[in-house]
Structure 1
């Protein structure tokens, strides 16, 4: 390529870059504004945290009286949120020195190895729902301080091996995705002054093999220090629509709507889910 052609190509590339920058400017501005909104500090909630229904009251009582608590049931029942609030209260009252957060690194068949970044960055998507509740409990600024201090620690389940958890609350979420072997490892980490809150929904298991959640409940049910609370879709507090969605997925998979079975007064959401599923 001649020098003139080279210079011409360079000028054309610079023009293209400028044009793309101008065209992308609205999108970049939107992204920046969205990031600014996301970084808006959250203030800690004020006032007492009260259970919203009988299942949450039973769960709350179990957390106060038992050292290991299983919260079993569908999404939206407030298991994670309420356990985070009670752990925060225990920390603020200086009853514990640390809050440990964990969950299996399994989400719909993916593992930590498929995500970019260092361990903290890889684990961030798995603790995001818990982090939101922690921000509500402590406020964004104080939460960042506690994370840097190590008073609140997030660890993948596998990285708890060899540890002893003491003078702390451990909240293990999405535990339907833990195996029997992983449960044995986790439950044997409990030390003096520790409380383990283990939440999960057996109907949302992403493991190819069997889940260890109900196995653990069965093995430990006769131990006095262990409590189990079961939630149903009637206990969902997230929203009425969330309750309907869960109900739809709990329906028989071979259900099909037709005019003849309308005598059962089936809910509209079930008819909508199954509309057009047959040719």
Structure 2
């Protein structure tokens, strides 16, 4: 779906009121997003990486600082996306539905549905990104631990003028067949070497408390 210009009539005078409030480390992540062109958010499952990215993206869209939100994530699956039925958006739906769910949790469903219908949110599979330049956009790269080195280089070079990119990932959730092929690990080594680039790791779990216990036991098992 082609992205249309942001046609909101006016910039809101007051801060956007979201349905969920960020905690302190998430607020710091959002501050880094607003201060940099590219921000990497690391963190275990349930730490709110994608939630923060979505909140920052919606905030900038609603205040007309950007024209569109671009969402991409690797489709790590044995089934090629080209063989799935339906339109491109329908093919990508299983992979991007968690991002939509975060948006619905953050703001009124009818408003989120409206910006999607208006084309202000664009879903772009990694295989369709080459050759694109995203201007005046907020690009969310989710599940980036499953992005290869070559794909990561290609993604990073898509950012255009007046755009921001947030890359979310967790190496502990690497699903690549050759795990060493992930480009996320190398990306996390760029802090301090590239201007307008920063990294933050979220620590707090926002799901059921049992998630922390399960992850701790799994990590202990893997370390043996």
Matched-pair contact (CA < 8 Å) for 1:51–1:60: no
Matching of residue 127 in structure 1 with residue 96 in structure 2: yes
Secondary structure in structure 1 of the residue aligned to 2:211: helix
2:219 aligns to what? 250
TM-score by length of 1: 0.68
C-alpha change, 1:144 and 1:51, in structure 2 (3 Å) is closer
Q: Which moved more, 1:161-170 or 1:135-144?
A: 135-144
2:53 aligns to what? 83
* Offset at residue 95 of structure 1 (A): 0.6
Q: Which moved more, 1:113-122 or 1:68-77?
A: 113-122
Q: CA RMSD, aligned part only?
A: 2.1
2:74 aligns to what? 104
Where does 1:116-265 land on structure 2 (aligned, <5 Å)?
116-209=85-178, 210-219=181-190, 221-232=192-203, 235-253=204-222
Return the alpha-carbon distance in structure 1 between the equivalents of residues 188 and 156 of structure 2: 11
Q: Which structure shows the bigger proportion of residues in helix conformation?
A: 1
Return the alpha-carbon distance in structure 2 between the equivalents of residues 57 and 248 of structure 1: 29
Structure with higher Rg: it is 1
Secondary structure in structure 1 of the residue aligned to 2:221: coil
TM-score by length of 2: 0.84
Return the alpha-carbon distance in structure 2 between the equivalents of residues 197 and 254 of structure 1: 30
Secondary structure in structure 1 of the residue aligned to 2:215: helix
Q: What residue ranges of structure 2 are gaps of 5+ in the alignment?
A: 1-15
1:70 aligns to what? 40
Secondary structure in structure 1 of the residue aligned to 2:138: strand
